[in-house]
């Protein structure tokens, strides 16, 4: 059956537009994905739609065709807005289509900070030139620009643009507080923002702009995804984290992160082995062989306790890693960005 063949792809896309009846759009979307044997996640809201779906090439092509002809998106969405990578239906455990308040969970009412107030979109080529200029100025210690990664720490850890400022945050909903706590940092700066596919920048840039402290806010159109299509060996080093069972996709052979236990170069995430922990851990094959498979010592302990206890008791999803991490880090100096620019 052509729709179920293993060699397929994963599509990532979003569309901001006015949706009068999100429930109806949700039901339609659900039926469409089931019909095409697609798995993945689709978020629908009154502000638009955001999806990542996997299936056979035949199915994903049909999906794009249908989406482009849907009257709601017809004049807004185009072929270019779909980012694709090798994968398939097997990249997701199931299909989840739901109605939410926001199509990307920033935790701020879309009526208060709207995607309509977004920054200036730069094509991958324009962004590449900007980063090039930024890096050469930063190396002379005279840059008025901040290259800001809008993603979470576990994403930027395995891949990022050289010289970027990557907030040590665990969820995008902490991003606004990060901006608030570090407003001084952005004063009179030109900010170049980027994320995986562009969607977090749409709201993130709008939030930053609403603070009225920056000189200029730019964002990478189509995100790292589109940048890597044009510049596989550009200024983005390492892997691109994705929110499905693949965890990462790769455009160059660079490994920029290390095993949590022995420090050897390693960038392939696994889920912490402790039953109720949802943290990801970088642990290399030889450390895994030694049984070092949890995200931290607390979890490693917990795992031993759980195995010896009658199941059915649930443990809170918390561990040393999340407890020790400040919810919103305060950046003290820009020195680390300047240092990072040298790698």
Q: Are 119 and 148 in contact (CB under 8 A)?
A: no
Please, what is the Cα angle at 137 between 133 and 143, to 5 degrees? 105
How far apart, in whole angstroms, are the C-alpha atoms of residue 169 and residue 117?
24
Q: Does the active-site annotation cover 195? A: yes
Candidates 247, 177, 202, 250; CA nearest to 50 is 202
For the stretch 273-279, contacts whose Cβ atoms lie closer than 8 Å and that sit 24 or more positions apart, written own/partner, are 273/299, 273/303, 274/299, 274/300, 274/302, 274/303, 274/306, 274/319, 275/303, 275/306, 275/315, 276/314, 276/315, 276/316, 276/317, 277/302, 277/317, 277/319, 278/317, 279/319, 279/321, 279/322
Half-sphere exposure in the Cβ direction for 181 (13 Å, CA): 15
End-to-end CA gap in the chain: 48
Q: To the nearest 10°, report the CA torsion of 44, 45, 48, 50.
A: -40
Q: Catalytic one among 91, 150, 164, 195?
A: 195
CA 76 to mean position of chain CA atoms: 23
3-class SS of residue 16: strand
The conformation of residue 195, written as its DSSP 8-state character, comes to: -
Instruction: Report phi then psi at 191, rounded to 5.
Output: -115, 125
- Are 75 and 17 spatial neighbours (Cβ–Cβ below 8 Å)? no
Catalytically active residues, by annotation: 195
């Amino acid at each position: 059956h052509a729709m179920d063949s293993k060699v397929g792809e994963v599509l990532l896309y979003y569309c901001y537009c006015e949706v009068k009846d999100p429930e109806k759009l949700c039901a339609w979307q659900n039926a469409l994905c089931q019909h095409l044997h697609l798995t993945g996640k689709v978020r629908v809201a009154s502000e638009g739609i955001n999806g990542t779906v996997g299936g056979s090439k035949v199915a994903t092509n049909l999906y794009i065709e249908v989406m482009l002809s849907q009257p709601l998106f017809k004049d807004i969405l185009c072929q270019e807005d779909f980012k694709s990578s090798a994968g398939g239906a097997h990249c997701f455990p199931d299909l989840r289509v739901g109605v939410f308040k926001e199509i990307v969970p920033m935790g701020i009412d879309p009526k208060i900070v709207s995607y309509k107030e977004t920054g200036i979109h730069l094509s991958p080529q324009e962004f590449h030139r900007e980063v090039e200029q930024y890096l050469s100025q930063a190396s002379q210690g005279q840059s008025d620009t901040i290259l800001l990664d809008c993603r979470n720490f576990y994403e930027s850890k395995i891949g990022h643009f050289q010289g970027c400022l990557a907030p040590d945050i665990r969820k995008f909903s902490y991003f606004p507080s990060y901006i608030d706590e570090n407003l001084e940092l952005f004063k009179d700066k030109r900010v170049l923002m980027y994320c995986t596919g562009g969607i977090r920048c749409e709201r993130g840039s709008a939030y930053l702009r609403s603070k009225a402290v920056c000189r200029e806010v730019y964002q990478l159109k189509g995100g790292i995804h589109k940048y890597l299509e044009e510049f596989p060996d550009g200024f983005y080093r390492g892997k691109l984290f994705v929110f499905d069972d693949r965890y990462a996709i790769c455009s160059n052979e660079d490994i920029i992160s290390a095993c949590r236990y022995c420090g050897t170069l390693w960038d392939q995430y696994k889920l912490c082995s402790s039953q109720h922990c949802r943290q990801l851990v970088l642990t290399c094959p030889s450390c895994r062989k030694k049984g070092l498979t949890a995200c931290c010592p607390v979890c490693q302990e917990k795992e031993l306790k759980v195995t010896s206890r009658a199941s059915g008791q649930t443990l809170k999803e918390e561990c040393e890693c999340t407890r020790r991490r400040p919810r919103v880090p305060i950046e003290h100096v820009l020195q680390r960005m300047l240092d990072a620019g040298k790698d």
